[in-house]
Amino acid sequence: DAGITQSPRHKVTETGTPVTLRCHQTENHRYMYWYRQDPGHGLRLIHYSYGVKDTDKGEVSDGYSVSRSKTEDFLLTLESATSSQTSVYFCAISEPKSGSTAREQFFGPGTRLTVL
Amino acid sequence: AQSVSQHNHHVILSEAASLELGCNYSYGGTVNLFWYVQYPGQHLQLLLKYFSGDPLVKGIKGFEAEFIKSKFSFNLRKPSVQWSDTAEYFCAVNPPGGGADGLTFGKGTHLIIQP
């Protein structure tokens, strides 16, 4: 398995509180991603990073912000959590191979977040 | 925008039955295609991938998939399923290129194998 850890693995919080989820990788991959997984929706991209301090929005970015100050860490912040953000959050990493444009993503174990 | 459709949301099979899960994508250009599997309570694991070349790709655990460009399809197959194949299966696509584009996933197929 790829060296990806997520913390915390489970969290229960209340509406309106800030929450930060951490993704840490030991693979030195350039690209990192945050997805959320909801029943009937599959996985949807929230934000991604293509390098230190370089981030961009995904399909469902409203209500979320990210930061990447080091190659190995990618933080996802919910500034003011809402019940609609109750979900399982997965981090993923990817690295373009030299001489190829093909790349695959490797996923972390996930964080189950419940917003009451 | 690209999208991925998985036709079967729930599939129930008996052990030793053959499996085929459908996946169609909408994207005008060349794409990279993936099948991921998620066992209960676990993270996503890559089953197989198609980037270029032979359209019939073989993955782990006896799975294979065929890319049919004219049909925009990438169906997953296994000739004889086992109880341990019970899981959620996701088809995903991203365009080739050097960018960091994320994957677009289908909504998943929940596969249950009955002993």
Chain B residues whose C-beta sits inside 8 Å of any chain A C-beta: 32, 34, 36, 42-46, 49, 51-52, 90, 92, 96-108
CB nearest B34 (choices: A58, A104, A110): A104
| d(CA B61, nearest CA chain A) in Å | 16
Residue B97 with chain A: CB contacts under 8 Å: 101
β strands within chain B, DSSP E: 3-5, 10-14, 19-21, 24-26, 32-38, 45-50, 56-58, 64-68, 73-78, 87-94, 104-105, 109-114
| pLDDT for res A2 | 67
As to burial, measured by CB atoms within 10 angstroms (0-12 exposed, 13-18 middle, 19+ buried), residue A11 is: middle
CA distances from A30 to A43, A52, A65, B81, B99 (A): 21, 8, 19, 37, 11
Q: How many C-beta atoms surround the C-beta of residue B63 within 10 A?
A: 21
**Once rounded to an integer, what is the mean pLDDT over residues A39-50?**
91
CB A43 to CB B103 under 8 A? yes
CA distances from A78 to A22, A40, B23, B40 (A): 12, 22, 33, 27
Q: Which residues contact B66 (CB under 8 A, 6 or more apart)?
A: B55, B56, B57, B73, B74, B75, B77
| pLDDT for res B30 | 78
Write the pLDDT tens digit of every residue in B54-90: 999 999 999 999 999 999 999 999 999 999 999 999 9
- By DSSP bridging, strand B3-5 and strand B24-26 are antiparallel
Write the pLDDT tens digit of every residue in B17-52: 999 999 999 877 778 899 999 999 888 999 999 988
Closest chain A residue to the Cα of B88, Cα to Cα: A42
B103, pLDDT greater than 80: yes
CA distances from A108 to A26, B43, B76 (A): 12, 6, 24
